[in-house]
Amino acid sequence: MLKVEGINVYYGHIQALKEVSLEIKQGEIVTLIGANGAGKSTLLKTISGLLKPKKGTVVFEGKNINGKAAQTIVKQGISHVPEGRRIFANMSVEENLELGAYLRKDKKGVKDDFDMVFDLFPRLQERIKQQAGTLSGGEQQMLAMGRALMARPRLLLLDEPSMGLAPLLVKTIFRIIEEINKGGTTILLVEQNAHMALSVANMAYVLETGRVVISGHPDELHSSEQVKMAYLGGH
């Protein structure tokens, strides 16, 4: 479904991604783990069109999307939930969700997707008229995910969905990630919580200083000494 091949991305003179390649098959959850500053968010921003690679290609469903505008990439079926949630704090929950669907013309489909989002996140329905900035951190994360789903993506990019959340909420968010995936959405997940990320993924990649250093089935990564020591607290 997605093929990233040999991409190099720079911030000014600093190279953030070095010859990064990865593949995602339809229906999978693929996770990217790595330390802060390894290039995980940069990779998601490159796929979603917020950054342009200097070299390499990003191919989605057989089409090269390199250099396309971010809104064009949303139209083609990729939604991005950025790190830090980036909701519109002064708008209501309802308005935030409506903005997620701003490129769509199918009114009935949009109404159905409101119902789908409220099924996944009942808390958002309870808070529908509330200003988004007054929600708790967990509710804001749910809103950011719900807003991305309103574009009806076939591929969902999730950047650190559990960051700053209480352990119980982390479990809830991961259960919902699995539900979204079972509903037919393919997911690329960037996550600091390597244990949780590997527990839901079909395939995993480890990024270190802008390079993919290990990739494989989550079970293989779980049993790799290198991964254990660096990301799983040695367990």
How confident is the prediction along the chain (235 residues), in pLDDT tens digits per residue?
Answer: 999 999 999 999 999 999 999 999 999 999 999 988 899 999 999 999 999 999 999 999 999 999 899 989 999 999 998 887 788 888 999 999 988 888 777 888 788 888 889 988 998 999 999 999 899 888 898 899 999 999 899 999 999 998 888 888 888 889 889 999 999 999 999 998 888 899 999 999 999 999 999 999 998 888 888 887 877 765 4
Verify that 108 and 219 share a domain, yes or no: no
Give the number of other Cβ atoms within 10 Å of residue 142's Cβ: 27
Q: Please count the structural domains in the chain.
A: 2
Verify that 73 and 160 share a domain, yes or no: yes
Full residue range of the structural domain in which residue 113 is found: 86-152
Domain boundary among 133, 152, 171: 152
Verify that 232 and 117 share a domain, yes or no: no
